[in-house]
Amino acid sequence: MKYSAVVIGASAGGMDALRIILSSLPATFPLPVMVVNHIAPSSTNYLTRHLDANSPLVVKEAEEKENITDGAVYVAPPNYHLLVEEDKTLSLSTSERVKYARPSIDVLFETAALAYGPALIGVVLTGGNNDGSDGLKYIKDLGGTGIVQDPATAESNSMPNAAIETANPDYILPLEDIAKTLQELASL
């Protein structure tokens, strides 16, 4: 299977988990990465700046109607859902919260699954609710690949546990092994 994109969702403890993964991916990582991390509506873009400073990849806040570029990381801005359109552009929405969250991991995962089908890799990381579990199941239902952080290595294990129960992921990995697996899958 040749993969075309990666989507990652995180909540409580997500900043550190994302930093560990993104700092371990090489500058030559060939796939675009779209990220939702639950953050307060009034947040600044600190998360994006922090991840960009700690990653060999370019990490930027997603913009409306932006073309998705291989090897770039797009982070959902505060208080906006991040969506992937079928023409492989990004869009932002202030529609209702999903599972109490905006940005919602499920919204990103489901729209990306429609755009990329079986060429999508979905990753659910640490978090304190069940956002991402339905989205990861949808990715799997459309033939994509699911990775979940091992709950034992998560700062908050509710989100990984919910994703494991709901989506039957292909991989349940310690945080430190996720970047290596993403590299292996991207090279198929």
- Positions annotated as catalytic residues are 11, 38, 131
Residues sharing a CB contact under 8 Å with residue 49, sequence separation 6 or more, in sequence order: none
Element (H, E) at 59: strand 58-61
CB-CB neighbours of 61 under 10 Å: 18
CB atoms within 10 A of CB 77: 19
Q: Is the dihedral of CA 155, 156, 157, 159 positive or negative?
A: negative
